[in-house]
Structure 1
Amino acid sequence: MGFSYDKLWKKLIDEKMNKLDLQNAINTTPHTIAKMGRDENVSMEILGRICRYFKCDISEILEYRINSEVK
C-alpha cells in the first residue's frame, strides 16, 4: 500500500514542465521533489501548494494504491 505521484508526473508532461519547474513554482527544495519521485510522503502543505498552482483537486496529482508495496 502506498501513495503514487504518477498523476503529478503526467500532469507535468501535459503542462510541458519538468521537476525543476515544479520546484520553483511551488517554492520547495530538491529534497522534497526527490521524495515524491520515490513515492514517499510529503507534507500536506506541499500538496496544497501543488493543488493551488495547478488549480486542481488532490486526486488529480496523488493516488493511493492499495495493492502496491511501500518503498
Structure 2
Amino acid sequence: MKIQYNKLWKILIDKNMNKVQLREAAGISSNSLAKLGKNEPVHMDVLMKIASVLGCRVEDLFETAKD
C-alpha cells in the first residue's frame, strides 16, 4: 500500500498556508517535509504535530492506496 498526503495539501490551500509556514509552525524538519512531498512515510509524531497546528485529526492528513 502507498500513502498519499493529498488531503494535507488541500488543507494547506484552504488555510492559505504554504509548506514553509507549516514546517515552522509545527516544528518539523525540512527532511520530514520533503518526505511528505514525495509521499513517503513519516513518523507519527510528525503527523501529530501537523494535525495539532492545523486543528484536525491525523487521519485527515493522508489516505492509502493500493500499489
Q: Identity of aligned pairs, percent?
A: 36
For residues 9-36 of structure 1, the C-alpha deviation after alignment (integer angstroms, 9 at most, x for no partner) is: 0110110011000100101111110100
Structure 2 CA distance for aligned equivalents of residues 8 and 22 of structure 1? 11
Q: CA deviation at 1:59?
A: 2.1
Q: 4+ residue stretches of structure 1 with deviation over 3 A? A: none
Q: CA deviation at 1:46?
A: 0.3
**SS of residue paired to 2:64:** strand
Structure 1 CA distance for aligned equivalents of residues 29 and 56 of structure 2? 21
C-alpha RMSD of matched pairs (Å): 1.0
Q: CA deviation at 1:52?
A: 1.1
Partner of 2:47: 47
**TM-score (ref. length: structure 1):** 0.87
Structure 2 CA distance for aligned equivalents of residues 28 and 54 of structure 1? 13
Amino acid at match of 2:20: L
Structure 1 CA distance for aligned equivalents of residues 28 and 57 of structure 2? 20
The structure with more radius of gyration: 1
Partner of 2:25: 25
Structure 1 CA distance for aligned equivalents of residues 13 and 56 of structure 2? 16
The gaps in structure 1 that reach 5 residues or longer are none
Partner of 1:7: 7
The gaps in structure 2 that reach 5 residues or longer are none
Amino acid at match of 2:58: I
